[in-house]
Amino acid sequence: MRRHLTILFSYFGQFLKNRLSYRVDFLVDSLAVFGALAVHLTFLAVLYTKIRSFAGWSLDELIFIHGFSLVPLGIFNLISFNLWSFSEVHLVEGRFDRVLLRPVNPVFQILFESFNVAALNEIVIGGVLLSVTGARLGLSPEPLDFLLFPIFAVSAAAVYLGVFLLLTSVSFWFEDRLGIGPPVYNMIRFARYPVTIYHPAIRALLSWIVPFSFAAFYPATRFLRVEEFRILAGLTPVVGFVCVTVAIWVFHQGTKRYTSTGS
């Protein structure tokens, strides 16, 4: 563990040196994140002025859920950069040979060779939204909340990581010409709303098949003090662990099928 942490800090240090050479790109990425958030919050505000009753959820509660969802999403986006180009860069171009030759876990290398520093904005914005709406809702943090929040945030990020690492692993068996990653990524926005507003079939999909509700809605309800979902919220670390464990196992099974390009 100590060795891998040392390597992680080395990866991140080298990445920052390279990234700071392009400060304008980082600024543009940051503005894009703020712009997307502003559009979404405006949509929520307009929607709530037209629909007074949103399945029993207030605007502040909706924004609180959205704010929480940004924290694990930011953690995931910070380390998921290489997943999107894994098939093309590592398998088709043969760069996975270099990964396998190093005495470091292949999954570790794929995740931490590059970072998306702009994703830190999502974490910060999410924290601000939680603080503001939490105060408006009269939520007083309990001592246990300070322990549970980082656990739930990391576990929720693990849900995203597990799902998309699993999709990435499929590339070992066949090339993803259809691009299933982006459509699945778009499903994340549906998990930012209470699952109670959806048809039972959609609710089951977001809870147990592509469990994005465990990365946003369910853990957020723990801090909203919604007793109805307390048990499901408590399952967030379990779901995150299962998702990552299954995805890593499938990835390692895929490495056994990998054959070098010979270039």
**What is the per-residue pLDDT across 185-229, written as a single tens digit (0 to 9) for each?**
889 989 888 999 899 999 999 999 999 999 999 999 999 999 999
Q: Residue 37 in contact with residue 121, Cβ under 8 Å?
A: no
State the alpha helices, DSSP H only, in 119-205: 119-136, 143-169, 181-186, 200-204
Q: Which residue segment(s) compose the domain that 43 sits in?
A: 2-255
Residue 221 lies in a domain: yes
Q: CA–CA separation, 71 vs 215, rounded Å?
A: 10
CA R_g for the chain: 19
CA distances, 36 to each of 31, 43, 126 (Å): 9, 11, 13
Give every CB contact of residue 68 below 8 A, 6+ residues apart in sequence.
126, 130, 153, 216, 219, 220, 223
Residue 177 lies in a domain: yes
Residue 20 lies in a domain: yes
Count of domains for the chain:
1
The backbone torsions φ and ψ at residue 40, rounded to the nearest 5 degrees and listed phi first, read -65, -45
Q: Residue 206 in contact with residue 213, Cβ under 8 Å?
A: yes
Task: State pLDDT tens for residues 79-119.
Answer: 888 888 888 888 878 788 888 888 888 998 898 888 887 78
Residue 263 lies in a domain: no
Residue 261 lies in a domain: no
Residue 131 lies in a domain: yes
Tell whether pTM > 0.75: yes
Q: Identify which of 124, 121, 115 has the alpha carbon closest to the alpha carbon of residue 20.
A: 115
Q: Residue 99 in contact with residue 90, Cβ under 8 Å?
A: yes
